[in-house]
C-alpha cells in the first residue's frame, strides 16, 4: 500500500509542511503532497484514484477541515482509504477513535488496516464529523475568522466563538424532519447532526455516536437564558447532557438516516467547520461510505 500524505500548509500555524517532512520524509512507500486548497485536495485524490495501479491510503495532515477535504475526495471510493496525522488546533474527528496522540505514531499509522465507516452526504457536499447549526454554526464562523489571530485564535478560538455567539446567536428558527417524521419546528439554541462525537476541540456534543452503525446522532437544544447556558456548559462539554436531568426539558434527541432541515433567509450551517448558507438542507447517512484506518493501540 502506498501512503500519500496530504498536507494543509496552513495547519499548525504554518508548520505542517516541515513537520510532515520531519516525520515522513524518506520512508519507503510514502509521498507528500502540499495541497493548494480544499477543492484542490479533493480533485487531486479523485485523479490519483482514477489512475492508480496500486492501493492508496491518503493521510490528512492538518485539522478537521483537511480531514473533510480528504474524505470528500474519497467518499464512495472502494479501492482507497484514508487516515489522519492530526496537526490542527482542534482535531475533533479523531477523538472518537482515541484521540490525536494515537494517530501521531507514524509507524502505527502506516500499519493501520482500513475499515468502512459512515459519512454524511449534504447535497453535493460531505461531512465526516458533524453537521450543525444555530449557536454552533455561529461559533464555527467566528472560529474561522479568528483562528490565525493571537490570544483569541488557535486553541482559544472556540471559547472566543462561544462568547460572541452568546451575545448575538441565542435563538434560531428551523424545521426538521428525521426519516420522514416531524422532529422540531420553531426556535432553538443549537443542533448537531453527528457522525463523530466532538466539536470545538473538547466539547463532546454527541457522546452516543458510533461511526459505523448507519445512523447519525441528533441533539437539538431549545432556547435557554444566557445564565442557564453558562451553568450547563460544563456538562455539555463533558458529554453528560443526555443523562443530566437539568437538560431534559430542553433536549430533543434522536437518531436517523435522513435529516431534512429548513431555515429562514440568512440560515447557516457548519459542515466539519465549513460555513454554508442556505434555507434547505438534506443530510443522508451513507453507511460504509468511507474507508478509514485507525492505528492499533500500544
**Distance, CA of 28 to CA of 99 (rounded, Å):** 26
Beta-strand pair 274-277/181-188? unpaired
| CA-closest candidate to residue 137, choices 287, 17, 272 | 272
Question: Is residue 180 domain-shared with residue 107, that is, in the same domain?
Answer: no
Question: Is residue 282 domain-shared with residue 229, that is, in the same domain?
Answer: yes
DSSP string, 98-129: T-HHHH--HHHHHHPPEEEEEEEEETTEEESS
**Distance, CA of 84 to CA of 293 (rounded, Å):** 8
**Residue 53 in domain:** yes
Please provide residue 78's backbone torsions phi and psi, each rounded to the nearest 5 degrees. -85, -20
Q: Which domain holds residue 74?
A: 2-119+289-293
What is the predicted pLDDT for the residue at 144? Answer: 73
What is the predicted pLDDT for the residue at 151? Answer: 65
**Distance, CA of 286 to CA of 47 (rounded, Å):** 22
Beta bridge partners of 134: 190
| CATH number, domain containing residue 226 | 2.60.200.40
Question: Is residue 155 domain-shared with residue 209, that is, in the same domain?
Answer: yes
- Who's near 62: CB < 8 A, 6+ residues apart? 6, 7, 8, 10, 11, 12, 16, 87, 88
Instruction: Yes or no: say if 64 and 38 are a contact pair by the CB < 8 Å rule.
Output: no
What is the predicted pLDDT for the residue at 162? Answer: 79
Question: Is residue 112 domain-shared with residue 137, that is, in the same domain?
Answer: no
The predicted model scores a pTM of 0.91
**Residue 298 in domain:** no
Residue labelled with grid coordinates 491510503: 57
| CATH number, domain containing residue 28 | 3.40.50.10330
What is the predicted pLDDT for the residue at 222? Answer: 96
**Distance, CA of 290 to CA of 49 (rounded, Å):** 14
Where would I find the H helices in 147-289? 157-168, 226-238
What is the predicted pLDDT for the residue at 140? Answer: 78
**Residue 170 in domain:** yes
Distances (CA, A) of 38 to 64, 69, 129, 151: 11, 5, 16, 26
What is the predicted pLDDT for the residue at 52? Answer: 84
What is the predicted pLDDT for the residue at 219? Answer: 95
Question: Is residue 145 domain-shared with residue 281, that is, in the same domain?
Answer: yes
- Who's near 51: CB < 8 A, 6+ residues apart? none
CB atoms within 10 A of CB 265: 7
Instruction: Yes or no: say if 8 and 65 are a contact pair by the CB < 8 Å rule.
Output: yes
pLDDT in tens, the chain (298 residues): 999 999 998 887 778 889 999 999 789 999 999 999 999 999 999 999 998 889 999 999 999 999 999 999 999 998 999 999 999 878 999 999 999 999 999 999 999 999 999 999 999 999 999 999 998 788 878 877 777 677 676 767 777 877 888 777 889 999 999 999 999 999 999 999 999 999 877 889 999 999 999 999 999 999 999 999 889 989 999 999 999 999 999 999 999 999 999 999 999 999 998 899 999 999 999 999 999 999 998 7
**Distance, CA of 50 to CA of 2 (rounded, Å):** 15
Amino acid at each position: 500500500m502506498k501512503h500519500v500524505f496530504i498536507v494543509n500548509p496552513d495547519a499548525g500555524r504554518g508548520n505542517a509542511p516541515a513537520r510532515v517532512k520531519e516525520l515522513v520524509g524518506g520512508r519507503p512507500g510514502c509521498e507528500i503532497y502540499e495541497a493548494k486548497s480544499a477543492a484542490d485536495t479533493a480533485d487531486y485524490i479523485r485523479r490519483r484514484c482514477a489512475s492508480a495501479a496500486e492501493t492508496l491510503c491518503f493521510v490528512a495532515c492538518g485539522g478537521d477541515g483537511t480531514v473533510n477535504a480528504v474524505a470528500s475526495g474519497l467518499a464512495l471510493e472502494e479501492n482507497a482509504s484514508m487516515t489522519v496525522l492530526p496537526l490542527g488546533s482542534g482535531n475533533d474527528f479523531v477523538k472518537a477513535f482515541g484521540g490525536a496522540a494515537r494517530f501521531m505514531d507514524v509507524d502505527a499509522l502506516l500499519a493501520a488496516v482500513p475499515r468502512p465507516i459512515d459519512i454524511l452526504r449534504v447535497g453535493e457536499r460531505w461531512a465526516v464529523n458533524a453537521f450543525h447549526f444555530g449557536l454552533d454554526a455561529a461559533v464555527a464562523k467566528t472560529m474561522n475568522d479568528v483562528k490565525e489571530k493571537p490570544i483569541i485564535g488557535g486553541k482559544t478560538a472556540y471559547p472566543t466563538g462561544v462568547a460572541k455567539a452568546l451575545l448575538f446567536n441565542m435563538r434560531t428558527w428551523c424545521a426538521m424532519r428525521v426519516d420522514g417524521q416531524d422532529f422540531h419546528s420553531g426556535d432553538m439554541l443549537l443542533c448537531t447532526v453527528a457522525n463523530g462525537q466532538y466539536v470545538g476541540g473538547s466539547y463532546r456534543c454527541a457522546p452516543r455516536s458510533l461511526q459505523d452503525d448507519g445512523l447519525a446522532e441528533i441533539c437539538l437544544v431549545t432556547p435557554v437564558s444566557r445564565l442557564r447556558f453558562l451553568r450547563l456548559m460544563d456538562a455539555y462539554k463533558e458529554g453528560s447532557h443526555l443523562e443530566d436531568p437539568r437538560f431534559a426539558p430542553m433536549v430533543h434527541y434522536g437518531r436517523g438516516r435522513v435529516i431534512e432541515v429548513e431555515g429562514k433567509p440568512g440560515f447557516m450551517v457548519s459542515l466539519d467547520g465549513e460555513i454554508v448558507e442556505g434555507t434547505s438542507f438534506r443530510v443522508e447517512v451513507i453507511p460504509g461510505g468511507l474507508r478509514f484506518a485507525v492505528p492499533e493501540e500500544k
